[in-house]
Structure 1
Amino acid sequence: MSGYEDANADAGYADGALPPRVVALGGGHGLYASLSALRRVTTDVTAVVTVADDGGSSGRLRRELGVLPPGDLRMALAALCGDDEWGHTWSEVIQHRFRSEGELHGHAVGNLLIVALWELLGDSVAGLDWVGQLLGAHGRVLPMSSVPLDIVAEVEGVDPARPHEVTTVRGQVACASTRGRVRSISLVPDTPPASPQALKAVREADWVVFGPGSWFTSVLPHLLVPDLAEALVSTRARRVVALNLSPQRGETDDFAAHTYLEVLAAHAPRLRIDVVLADRGVVEDPAELSRAVEKLGGRLVLADVAAADGTPRHDPDLLAAAFDEIFHA
């Protein structure tokens, strides 16, 4: 039996049954959470990752070398590492950041490794595949676009003295840390090319997962890349939205659970959703959320998916169990 077949058997796909083909969209810690869960459910998972980060190590490498920002791609690869010694070790290695008084300070080892392979191979997807092989990643990581992007946000109330004034803010870091409330986003360039491999993955998927994650800077950007947005609308795959556990300062201050869906619909009015997954402990008005889900054509699933320590993060095992039940309902 091959290693792939062994993994399928461990995940409960014996006797030649095929695992669900799942594509997860997002970036940063939210995508890390969903991938950590999904790799426990299926051996056929592909992450399609935002490429708009302009801060920290990623931003420095992007500005200096003109490459895609590697940080969110690195985090996705780390999330797909296995729970054995090899997986734990390599996950820690690529997430490790140098601490010094010099030029290397703050750079993540994985960012440098990814960029080195990009320079050697001249192909961003091939470079990520090679890193995935080294790590023994349980899935594939792809950029959503073949060029680096900037996020531009329309933000209300940046100046507390003028709470209704709308200001344009550019850059992922600026959008994510703004003092005001983000109303909408756009991309620069406004018609970026989608990664062909990402389009193929979406079209061939059984399930597409949106979220959890920073709504305006990690989840919604996928719906603003024209070819990717069309693929997400037209794919035969069923679509799941995994809602956040808590609002994010600036981006989603004062959001109720249903507000995430309203913003999603405003940015992608043609997108239909099959399932919305939310933690039952954080939804204040399940009836209102259920009505919002029905407007998008889907059904609401409430489950216990939050970590037991009270922090606003998903427990990977609980989230995996919820995904598994959804995929096999």
Structure 2
Amino acid sequence: MPRRPAVAALGGGHGLFASLQALQLVTDKITAIVTVADDGGSSGRLREEFDILPPGDLRMALAALCDNSEWGLQWADALQHRFAGEGPLGGHSLGNLIIASLWDLLGEPIAGLDLVGRLLGARGRVLPMAAEPLRIEASVLGADPEQPDEVTEIRGQVEVASTPGRVLGVRLNPDPPLACQEAVEAVYDADWVILGPGSWFTSVMPHLLVPDLREALVHTTAKRMLTLNMVMDTGETTGFSASDHLEVLAAHAPELHLDVVLADPTVVLDGETNCVPLPNH
């Protein structure tokens, strides 16, 4: 049998979840590298109360990599279960609470994630992109509909993801953020690195704003693939075409070389395939 490739998949939320499920059809050597800037919902409440990494996107990645057995699938469902009601548990997912509990017990985020992965029989490993919780900040044109020509500074993942304006650029706080060294090593050790799909400014671009991780993406010997979303012009990328997404990436990491851009033909406009000068490509 040919050797299965080692893959490092970068992203967050539902986009990374879908990517990880698809990658399991190709290889079992998967490392998910997950954004840690979420500040909404259960994750936001837990990070504020306990000063921890937001566990939600990490939980989703673990669930995506669960073993395809009755045991694994049942535990994946349990991990994703969300409590109803308006009480203290309302809105929390069981997986977030389990992860937060293990971090408290073990005192080390990666050990806790590895333990949950063992419980699920995960076909791969899940790592945070940074060793500390981050805040996303963005410059947005027309965030106030009554002042469409004004640039506003917006803070927080939820605010950036839901802004009605056009996002011009994003940054992270603290700056520079401290990378997760295991994630950096996974990028260097990979045969393929896959960036995206997902919310462009809040799940995909943040990986390029962690200096050590960006350096690894630039200098790794792995092939680099960017996966575009199935649907353009939504949410934080309202008004964006496929080529606009690539221009944003080039602006945030001009030295990054891409080997493959994967896109559904329906989202690529006539003439776009040759109109974006990708750096070093």
Give the TM interval when normalised to the shorter protein.
over 0.9
- TM-superposed CA distance for 1:297, in Å, is 4.8
Partner of 2:153: 168
Tell me if 1:190 matches 2:175. Answer: yes
| RMSD of Structure 2 on Structure 1 (CA) | 1.2
Mapped partners of 1:177, 1:18: distance in 2: 43
Tell me if 1:220 matches 2:220. Answer: no
Partner of 1:144: 129
Mapped partners of 1:102, 1:170: distance in 2: 28
Mapped partners of 1:271, 1:122: distance in 2: 35
Partner of 2:273: 289
Mapped partners of 2:145, 2:64: distance in 1: 39
Mapped partners of 1:19, 1:116: distance in 2: 34
Tell me if 1:129 matches 2:114. Answer: yes
For structure 1, the residue ranges without an aligned partner over 5 or more in a row are: 1-13, 299-329
Q: Helix, strand or coil: the match of 1:276? A: strand
CA contact (8 A) 1:214 1:248 kept: no
Partner of 2:72: 87
- TM-superposed CA distance for 1:102, in Å, is 1.1
Name the amino acid aligned to 2:130: S
Tell me if 1:71 matches 2:38. Answer: no
Name the amino acid aligned to 1:289: T
Name the amino acid aligned to 2:208: L
Mapped partners of 1:181, 1:210: distance in 2: 22
Q: Helix, strand or coil: the match of 1:48? A: strand
CA contact (8 A) 2:246 2:278 kept: no
Mapped partners of 2:232, 2:262: distance in 1: 16
CA contact (8 A) 1:46 1:201 kept: yes
Name the amino acid aligned to 2:33: V
Normalised by the length of structure 2, the TM-score is: 0.97
CA contact (8 A) 1:20 1:206 kept: yes
Mapped partners of 2:5, 2:203: distance in 1: 24
Q: Helix, strand or coil: the match of 2:198? A: coil
Mapped partners of 1:177, 1:73: distance in 2: 21
Q: Helix, strand or coil: the match of 2:267? A: coil
Mapped partners of 1:274, 1:199: distance in 2: 19
CA shift digits 1:233-258 (9 cap, x unpaired): 11111100010111354410111111
For structure 2, the residue ranges without an aligned partner over 5 or more in a row are: none
Mapped partners of 1:284, 1:138: distance in 2: 37
Describe how 1:307-326 pairs up with structure 2 within 5 A. none
Q: 1:210 aligns with which of 171, 174, 195?
A: 195
Mapped partners of 1:232, 1:186: distance in 2: 18
Partner of 1:244: 229
Partner of 2:98: 113
Name the amino acid aligned to 2:174: P
Mapped partners of 1:150, 1:272: distance in 2: 27
CA contact (8 A) 2:250 2:278 kept: no
Q: Helix, strand or coil: the match of 1:254? A: coil
CA contact (8 A) 2:232 2:242 kept: no
- TM-superposed CA distance for 1:267, in Å, is 0.3
Mapped partners of 2:86, 2:202: distance in 1: 31
Q: Number of residues paired by the alignment?
A: 281
Name the amino acid aligned to 2:34: V
CA contact (8 A) 2:193 2:223 kept: yes
CA contact (8 A) 1:205 1:237 kept: yes
Mapped partners of 1:243, 1:82: distance in 2: 27
- TM-superposed CA distance for 1:101, in Å, is 3.1
Q: Helix, strand or coil: the match of 1:281? A: helix
Q: Percent identity?
A: 61
Q: 2:7 aligns with which of 8, 22, 28?
A: 22
Tell me if 1:269 matches 2:269. Answer: no
Normalised by the length of structure 1, the TM-score is: 0.83
Mapped partners of 2:234, 2:165: distance in 1: 9
